[in-house]
Amino acid sequence: MDQIDLKILQLLQKRTKLSIQIGEAKHRHHAAVYVPERERELLARINRRSQGKALSAKAITAIYREILSSSRAAQKQAPVGYLAKSASVVIPPGRWCFGACDEFLPCKSWTDVAAGLASGQLAAALLTGAELAQALKKTKDRHEFLVHFTVVGDLHPALESQVPPDRRIFIVTPRDKGASGMANRALILIECKSTGDALKTLLHSMSDRPLHAELWCLQPASTPRGSGAALALMTFSQPLDGIRVTSALVTAFKGAELSGSILGVYPGTDTYGG
């Protein structure tokens, strides 16, 4: 057993040296240290190879969560931002998701978070659904989010079995080149007179129907001719190609003649490992 532990330690040190070299290359090319899609693929591959073995998938995910956390630290990843007022809500599940070696930085407002993400001083941010809705309430802030940021995950299973969307914690990063990989959740913004009816119409127009959809109000229509806004979190019964989900949503929006935007398409946290 001691010899095995020593071998594991030697391999971890070797892995860290390679991580440092990769981090140096990332910094030279101004590439992101935190790449959730890559981490998900790595965990999925390792779990597939370990099926039927003594070490469970849950144990492997927990072990690699800390290995990946130490690798990000070795690559000098920027901190993960959050709103200081939500520290007691965000940090415990944030630690569960990321790891002991990741740093978390409190921010006073969404403006500070957005500036940190845009400048690279923050690698990602954790926002509750209510905070995300607040950040999107103004047209200017909404446009800024849609252009510059994307939602890459949520921490729902880390909290409890039934958490309303406004209390769920979402992981926000700078927007990349687009959706890829397998995804079973989509967070969308709907803007119209009746957001509830709009969601029903949108779901009816989709060929890939979500198993479950949750809607929460962002901005109620103030006048009979006013336009309301709401966030909808869709969960599909099985993982689908991220590009396919995005395409299905765009087609459904057009077919239903609805105004809306896609904030994020991503796997649920049952397949998310860091």
191 lies in some domain: yes
205 lies in some domain: yes
CATH of the domain at 242: 3.30.70.380
226 lies in some domain: yes
Residue of higher predicted confidence among 241 and 90: 90
Domain identity same for 97 and 161: yes
pLDDT at 3 over 90: yes
Question: For 206-228, what is each residue's pLDDT tens digit?
Answer: 877 777 788 887 766 554 445 67
Domain identity same for 202 and 172: no
247 lies in some domain: yes
Domain identity same for 5 and 69: yes
CA–CA distance, 121 with 67 (Å, rounded to integer): 23
Domain identity same for 161 and 188: no
Domain identity same for 86 and 19: no
What confidence category does residue 123 fall into, taking pLDDT thresholds of 50, 70 and 90? very high
Domain identity same for 126 and 165: yes
pLDDT at 14 over 70: yes
Question: For 104-121, what is each residue's pLDDT tens digit?
Answer: 999 999 999 999 999 999
pLDDT at 159 over 80: no
272 lies in some domain: no
In which domain, by residue range, is 207 found? 182-266
Domain count, the chain: 3
Domain identity same for 191 and 151: no
pLDDT at 53: 80
- In this prediction, residues 36-50 reach a mean pLDDT of 83
pLDDT at 179: 53
236 lies in some domain: yes
243 lies in some domain: yes
Domain identity same for 196 and 255: yes
271 lies in some domain: no
